[in-house]
Chain A
Amino acid sequence: MDEDAYARLTAYFDHFKALLDKDTQSAKEEVMTDLENRIAELFDQGIGGASYRVVNLGLVTRVVEQLGMPDGSKEPETFTSDKASEEREEARTSDNPQNGGPDFTYSGGSGTAKRRLFRDLDNKVIGGVCAGLAAFLNVDLTVVRIVTLLTLLLYGTGFLVYLVLWIVVPVAKTPADKCMMRGFEPTAENMARFSGQRRNGYGK
């Protein structure tokens, strides 16, 4: 996620929250959670279609315009470049020292939770068996593919094994599946990261 995009989104959340003062605290939190989930969904759709995998200011602006304010009014224009850079500074120090903001781009699997074997159709060539195995074993996808091809050439048993796995192993359909496949706890945040996005570049 880009820095200016993050600052823009933070400002939007503040404005939105300020207009919810009629509600109780728990109701307010519920609304914000719903809103965040919806934004995650919209980001996902926005990213999925494009070649870039970063949430940039343009995408945030589009999403924020689509969602609007709780009372249908225009968002107050307090988002100045001063505030943006200030928040940017904050983001750099607090969230992620390397990137200066929460990183929504996906970079390989490195989860620590227990992994489950699925077929990964986002990175498939035939049935997604190799991609699923690579995620399960936390090995580079290319290595798995080469080994698979070798067993195919040397003994021919690779073909049978692949066929069996293709039939037996389930597809990672839901975001929760995709989390478990890569060893991440299926929390809302993690699910938002893996949900339905084409990862064509991954592992090649």
Chain B
Amino acid sequence: MENSVDNVRSQMRKGVLEYCILCILNRKEAYASSILEDLKSANMIVVEGTLYPLLIRQKNQGLLSYRWEESTQGPPRKYYCITEKGRAQLREMDLAWQEIVETIKTIKQ
């Protein structure tokens, strides 16, 4: 029982993770570890290893773009930002999210 709850929970997280990333990048440009910090401070538990493949996938879908920025410590960093296509998708996701919230609300009544 415990296990299946955990499973559902992690599935839910996975489902909204891409949405979360688009939301964060809609506000500002960011590189992977700062996106991660934002997610963590919002109680979204992910590891960096999850983030990198997702970012690349979203970039290849044309939702994100990036630029290199040199850092004073360590190798250059990839700063991601949202594209027009990404914004359009975000708007649709906003709607979808509203729908889900409404659905749950209605059912629970």
Contact = CB atoms under 8 A, between A and B. Distances in A.
Interface string B23-42: 00000000011000000000
A72 B71 CA distance: 28
Contact of B78 (A34, A48, A175, A196): A34
The dominant DSSP class at the B interface is helix
The dominant DSSP class at the A interface is helix
B43 interface: no
A187 to B, nearest CB: 10
B60 interface: yes
Contacts of B52: 31, 34-35, 38, 70
7 contacts: A27-B57, A34-B32, A37-B75, A38-B52, A69-B49, A72-B47, A188-B76
B53 A23 contact: yes
A33 B50 CA distance: 14
A196 B14 CA distance: 36
Given A20-B53, A27-B60, A31-B53, A66 B75 contact: no
Contact of A40 (B55, B57, B75, B78): B75
A45 interface: yes
B72 A174 contact: yes
A115 to B, nearest CB: 19
B96 interface: no
A195 to B, nearest CB: 5
B56 A23 contact: yes
Nearest to B13: A72
Q: Which of B32, B72, B73 has the most chain A CB within a 10 Å cutoff? A: B73
Contacts of A67: 47-49
A23 B46 contact: no
A95 B104 CA distance: 58
A130 B66 CA distance: 39
